[in-house]
Structure 1
Amino acid sequence: MNILTHFLCFAAGAVSGVVLMCLLITAKQEDERLSQMKWRDEQ
């Protein structure tokens, strides 16, 4: 039972870490895309 609890906590932490990393990458790409659009509009 104790090993199962530790494994579930580890799995939940790993999944939340991956989801957070994907969100940060997506936000960075969207930010770069928006800044490129603003740069094009200024020229």
Structure 2
Amino acid sequence: MASFRNLLVHMCRKVDYSCVCHVLQENLADLRAFCAAVVRLV
């Protein structure tokens, strides 16, 4: 996910949004873990 984040930040005008959707669906567990970590900090 870190490399995907870098792609989004540095090449946002050239991003294929169907690819974004696919990556988000395939890495949903990573996103949920991130959200849980943020909630624990708040």
TM-score normalized with structure 1 length: 0.39
Bigger-Rg structure (1/2): 1
More relative contact order, 1 or 2 (CA 8 Å, 6+ apart): 2
- Greater helix percent: which structure? 1
